[in-house]
Amino acid sequence: AQKITQTQPGMFVQEKEAVTLDCTYDTSDPSYGLFWYKQPSSGEMIFLIYQGSYDQQNATEGRYSLNFQKARKSANLVISASQLGDSAMYFCAMREDNAGNMLTFGGGTRLMVKP
Amino acid sequence: SAVISQKPSRDICQRGTSLTIQCQVDSQVTMMFWYRQQPGQSLTLIATANQGSEATYESGFVIDKFPISRPNLTFSTLTVSNMSPEDSSIYLCSVDQGAMDEQFFGPGTRLTVL
């Protein structure tokens, strides 16, 4: 079974609107972390936000917030006030603390921001 | 956050040759990781490299094809051996850093094999 699932291969959003990118995960490890990365066409992986499995509050970093629903095993990324520069691939990833510090990635979502 | 550099940033190689990719970090880190991203795909872990020990390879990756060195806590190399067009990918190194064990990535090496 896939450990990280991103069901939206591509999404459009109007500039200045908010958008939610979906991510569900599967683990039996009680201690884990969830990450979101942005990958522009240059290929670099830009760290956006992190959520630990024991964190009580949803993580926020500027225009990025993570809607963490532990019981549903989902960790959706919310981008507020979209900008043209937000157009990129977005990857959700998980680190299971009992499986070393490696990351397992989802298939990614390509976000396109329309002017 | 750690500053990570990779060399080369891109290369075009002939099949049957080998390429060594370097990853340099501006601070000492325990664990370094090498990932591969094939065209249009997500990232897949190749191996974990700890200083002073053999790299640990993931299923589907072998040392003869992807030898890794980790001579110190700030540097690692990945060699792609006997290349074929299927090895055309972006190769990224990453390190654990930060209060929450965030993983940061280098800028990647874009490899094309003809």
Selecting from A42, A50, A91 the residue whose C-beta is nearest the C-beta of B42 gives A91
Question: What does DSSP assign to residue A100?
Answer: B
> How near does any CA of chain A get to the CA of B106, in Å?
7
Residue A67, pLDDT > 70, answer yes
Asked if the Cβ–Cβ distance from A45 to B108 is below 8 Å, we say: yes
From B17's Cα to the closest Cα of chain A, the distance in A is 24
Please indicate whether, in this complex, the C-beta atoms of B42 and A108 are within 8 angstroms of each other.
Answer: yes
A28 touches chain B (CB under 8 A): no
Six-digit token string for B34: 């090498």
Helix, strand, coil percentages for chain A (3-state, nearest 5)? 5, 50, 45
pLDDT at residue number B101: 62
A77 with A48: CB under 8 angstroms? yes
Taking one residue from A and the other from B, the number of pairs with CB-CB distance under 8 angstroms is 58
Contact, B18 vs B84, CB < 8 A? no
**Are residues B42 and A35, on separate chains, in Cβ contact within 8 Å?**
no
A37 touches chain B (CB under 8 A): yes
Rama region for A41: left / alpha / beta (φ>0; ψ in -120 to 50; rest): alpha
Cβ proximity of B21 and B10 under 8 Å: no
**Which of A28-42, A58-72, B96-110 has the least mean pLDDT?**
B96-110
Q: Is the pLDDT of residue B97 over 90?
A: no
Q: Is B103 on the interface with A (CB under 8 A)?
A: yes
Q: How confident is the model at residue B52 (pLDDT cuts 50, 70, 90)?
A: confident
Average pLDDT, chain B: 93
